[in-house]
Amino acid sequence: MPRLPPSLFWTARKQISPFAPLLLPVCRTLDSTANELRWIKEHVNSTPSPVPRKLRIWQDCLKRGERGMPLQYILGTQPFGPLEILCRPGVLIPRPETESIITHLTTLLPPTPTLKILDLCTGTGCIPLLLSSLLPPTTKAQTTGIDISPLAISLSRQNLLHNISLSHLPPSTSQQQQITFTQSDIFSPLFLPSLPYSPGELDILVSNPPYISPHGFNTTTERSVRLFEPKLALVPDAASLSWSKGYSCRPEDVFYARLLEIAGVLQPKRVLFEVGDLDQAARVAEMVVRGGGEGEGGGGGGGERELKAYAGTVEIWRDDPDVESEGEKESVWVDGGKVRVGVKGRGNGRGVYFWRKDQ
Amino acid sequence: MLAAPWVCRSCVRSLRRVGFPHQFLRRASTDSFKLPPALLDRARFLTAEHDQLTAQLADNFDEKIAKRAGEVHRIADAFKKFEHAKASLVELEGLLKSDDPEMREMAQEDLAATNEQLAESSRNLSVALTPKHPFADMPCLIEIVPGPGGTEGRFFADSVFKMYQAYCANKGFRTKVVQYLAADSTGEKGGDGEIALQEAVLEVMEEGAYAHFRGEAGMHRVQRVPATEKSGRTHTSAVAVWVLPSFSENATASDSDWDNPESDFYIDPAEVKSEKMRASGAGGQHVNKTESAIRLTHIPTGITVSMQDSRSQHTNRADAWRLLRSRIAQKRREAREDAARALRSSVLSSAQLTRGDKIRTYNYGQDRCTDHRAGLDVHNLPDVLRGGDTLGKVIDAVHGWLTEKDIQALLADEEAAAAAANTPAKGKKGK
């Protein structure tokens, strides 16, 4: 990253505010600095406190600029579609890419009277909340979010109440939307039997699992992500966990192997996983094409390669799946060049989507 | 030795002014059944289309097809009558050459009638083929502005305004006085209680009013002894009449009605490119961006809107759409006003408010109203000014004249198009 010229700091100080140079190292452009400073000021103005206003702004700018704390942890919220998601240190902040692929998923759903949705590794609960807010009010949706972290589960429940209180979501007493959050370890052998779905009953399986490799965590992540966001939600920690030993795939793909096992057992109608980049998307697509994870003896539940129902329906989504691609690759070849998988949208590879043919 | 007696220069000038060729158009219309091949080809093509459409409609009814068939029905009908008349003419000519003198006599009798029929059907055909004016179905605004030259023109402007108002009342057209502005300088009254008018705008809210009043636009000249004139001299002054299509007020009434394609605020989502401003490189869990800017580009007009005020892309997108909508609506409204302005200046193109380019003269002394384009004189001026049937007769005559002119323009256009189509072909052959 190129060094910022000192003149830029002077310009920021003169044009924006004396606080602006504090934010400039993380924001890097004057536009974005002005925006973040404005948002910090709005936050300070809207939350009463005995501490003097300027001092609070200064403190927040220091946290953001000097230490690189994510703005969402300072302000405590992140907009996600029409919702406002609460953010606390220890739980991953919802990303706009997730919003865009989930929004695109809802446009693909045919109108149905009932929907059963399962979100694994739910974090703040942003995906179940967004899905149920975007579904038509006539659809009766039963949504479950599952995470291993008790912190995440408690925050996701807070988020549900918070968005109901902002009337972004209908009240929990209404019959249409049922959203529940459960703490559970998806790698546990007891996980699959504990789910209340019979095979083929589930409509949508979504997941945004940890997908950064241990090496990538040290080299490709932003400082604010590395220092402040939970590693649990970012990197599948293969070494310290016994369950991952059974999978022969790359360490960052371990979760997908397990998710495909779960998909093989539950046979959901539609499946969408968020992935890190196009290469990872191609690897996950290959797993689907080959009929499941490359487990040797299976790490837990079913383990049978029962993904034949999804053959030929795999597609890869980029960051914005709903717009036309601009001279980017429109397909990748997987499984040793035998199978062609379509790539749609614009941006980085962001999602792997497949659906059951026999519906 | 001069052949003519001495005439003053201004009189020579006024004699030299040719004006409108009164009789020419009528003569032109009588033997115009020799329609140019381009027009006949078009008529034949449209008739074939009509037959095909009716055949389709017989099988299954489709609203679109029915609409199109209705559009070409008039032309097909006129063309069939024209063909029929032509065929019977050929038959009669055959009979004329027959040996039987009785037959010849009968044919001779029929010939005149058939010729007349043919002339009429050919005129009908070309009227049917004449394209409708784009604003023909619209309501209109009649704007009346006195020409230069003192209060007399202003008084007469009031008369003209009242004439149109009365005419609409007689015809049963709904009207609304949009503006009726008296010149504040004088409190005096002209004859018949006229007031000195500065500007008046009358809206005729009937559909198709524009087509009806289109021919009224231009300079209306008055020759009379003003009520204010002491020594009894006849004055000549002029009043300008503008006829503008009245655009519906939907644009302001339905600001919020974005999904209605009629609305100014409607944008086809396919015409808008939406971009999120993103840094290149890894996204997703690797980074934690706060940029939420959205940029929308409306491709046909090139209007770009970007929004970054809110932390939520969702809100930014909604705001950007709202801004884009109002910008485009503004642009559309401006374009529409430009069109109306162009129309206004084309009505009074060469000489804005001079008495020379009059289209109609109201002569009080001779109790006469003359339309110079249609070449029509009527002699019941009070009835004209009351907006009675006599004015209706004048307006109808102007209609006939306008139709003729439209047909001529159409023929000229088609000939020019045919010529243009022929020339490059020849050029290519030459090479």
Q: What is the ipTM score, two decimals? A: 0.88
**Nearest residue in chain A measured CA to CA from B309:** A35
Query: Is the confidence at residue B148, as pLDDT, over 70?
Result: yes
Sign, CA dihedral A184-A190-A191-A195, equals negative
DSSP state of A119: E
pLDDT averaged per 10 residues, chain A (length 359):
90 91 91 92 93 93 91 94 94 94 93 92 95 88 94 95 90 76 90 90 94 92 92 81 68 90 92 94 91 48 64 90 82 87 90 86
Query: Is the confidence at residue B386, as pLDDT, over 80?
Result: yes
**Are B311 and A274 an interchain contact pair (Cβ–Cβ within 8 Å)?**
no
Distance between first and last Cα of chain B: 61
The structure's pTM equals 0.62
Q: Which of A90-104, A255-269, B122-136, B286-300 has the lowest mean pLDDT?
A: B122-136
pLDDT interval class at B428 (50, 70, 90): very low
Query: Is the confidence at residue B68, as pLDDT, over 70?
Result: yes
Residues B239 and B265 in one domain: no
Residues B83 and B158 in one domain: no
pLDDT interval class at B421 (50, 70, 90): confident
Residue B65 to residue B54: CA distance in whole angstroms: 8
In this prediction, residues B298-302 reach a mean pLDDT of 88
Is B348 inside any structural domain? no
Is B335 inside any structural domain? yes
**Mean model confidence pLDDT for chain B:** 77
Nearest to B288 among A36, A222, A277 (CB): A222
> What pLDDT sits at residue B347?
52
**Are A36 and B289 an interchain contact pair (Cβ–Cβ within 8 Å)?**
no
Which of the residues B291, B294, B306, B311 would you substitute to probe the A interface, choosing the one with the greatest number of A C-beta atoms within 10 Å? B311
Residues B177 and B32 in one domain: no
Is B368 inside any structural domain? yes
Nearest in space to B282 (alpha carbons), one of A259, A206, A277? A277
Query: Is the confidence at residue B49, as pLDDT, over 60?
Result: yes
Residues B240 and B254 in one domain: no
**Are B289 and A229 an interchain contact pair (Cβ–Cβ within 8 Å)?**
no
DSSP state of A95: P
Residues B58 and B95 in one domain: yes
Is B338 inside any structural domain? yes
Distance from CA of B286 to the nearest CA of A (A): 4
Beta strand extents in B331-425 (DSSP E only): 358-363, 368-371, 376-378
Is B297 inside any structural domain? yes
Query: Across chain B, how many H-helices and E-strands are there?
Result: 11, 11
Q: What is the dihedral of CA B97, B99, B103, B104, to 10 degrees?
A: 40
> What pLDDT sits at residue B424?
57
Query: Is the confidence at residue B423, as pLDDT, over 60?
Result: yes
> What pLDDT sits at residue B116?
84
In this prediction, residues B30-50 reach a mean pLDDT of 71
- The DSSP line for B290-309 is ----EEEEETTTTEEEEE-S
Residues B304 and B220 in one domain: no
> What pLDDT sits at residue B349?
45
CATH number at residue B316: 3.30.160.20
**Are A35 and B284 an interchain contact pair (Cβ–Cβ within 8 Å)?**
no
In this prediction, residues B348-361 reach a mean pLDDT of 57
Q: Which of A177-181, A221-225, B62-66, B79-83 has the lowest mean pLDDT?
A: B62-66
In this prediction, residues B58-73 reach a mean pLDDT of 80
Is B13 inside any structural domain? no
Residues B160 and B229 in one domain: yes
> What pLDDT sits at residue B346?
59
pLDDT interval class at B32 (50, 70, 90): very low
Instruction: Give residue ranges of A with CB < 8 Å to any B CB.
Output: 27, 31-32, 35-36, 39, 70-72, 75, 78-79, 81-82, 92-93, 95-99, 210-212, 216, 220-222, 224-225, 229, 233-234, 274, 276-277, 319-320, 323, 347-348, 350
CATH number at residue B365: 3.30.70.1660
Sign, CA dihedral A146-A150-A152-A158, equals positive
Is B425 inside any structural domain? no
Higher pLDDT, B392 or B258: B392
Q: Are B293 and B274 in contact (CB under 8 A)?
A: no
Distance from CA of A95 to the nearest CA of B (A): 6
Is B266 inside any structural domain? yes
Q: Which residue has 């149109």 as its token pair?
A: B164
> What pLDDT sits at residue A13?
92
Burial of B392 from C-beta contacts in 10 A (0-12 / 13-18 / 19+): middle
In this prediction, residues B106-134 reach a mean pLDDT of 78
Residues B31 and B110 in one domain: yes
Q: Are B358 and B333 in contact (CB under 8 A)?
A: no
Residues B193 and B212 in one domain: yes
In this prediction, residues B89-97 reach a mean pLDDT of 83
> What pLDDT sits at residue A103?
93
Query: Is the confidence at residue B9, as pLDDT, over 70?
Result: yes
Which of B78, B101, B129 lies at the terminal end of a domain, its last residue?
B129
Interface check for B286 against chain A (CB to CB < 8 A): the answer is yes
Higher pLDDT, A114 or B261: A114
pLDDT interval class at B207 (50, 70, 90): confident
In this prediction, residues B96-105 reach a mean pLDDT of 81
Residues B369 and B318 in one domain: no
> What pLDDT sits at residue B198?
82
Higher pLDDT, B152 or A93: A93
Nearest to A32 among B284, B291, B310 (CB): B291
Residue B279 to residue A348: CA distance in whole angstroms: 11
Residues B146 and B89 in one domain: no
Q: Calculate Rg over the CA atoms of chain A.
A: 22
Q: Which of A99-113, B135-149, B288-302, B343-357 has the lowest mean pLDDT?
A: B343-357
Q: How many structural domains is chain B composed of? A: 3
> What pLDDT sits at residue A173?
64
Q: How far, in whole angstroms, is CA B36 from its chain's centroid? A: 24
Collapse the DSSP code of B184 into the 3-class scheme (helix H, G, I; strand E, B; otherwise coil) and give the result.
coil
Interface check for B277 against chain A (CB to CB < 8 A): the answer is no
Collapse the DSSP code of B7 into the 3-class scheme (helix H, G, I; strand E, B; otherwise coil) and give the result.
coil
B215: domain range? 140-248+353-414
Residue B409 to residue B328: CA distance in whole angstroms: 35
Q: Which residue has 């109901």 as its token pair?
A: A164
> What pLDDT sits at residue B431?
37
Distances (CA, A) of A247 to A112, A137, A271: 37, 41, 21
> What pLDDT sits at residue B404?
74
Residues B363 and B409 in one domain: yes
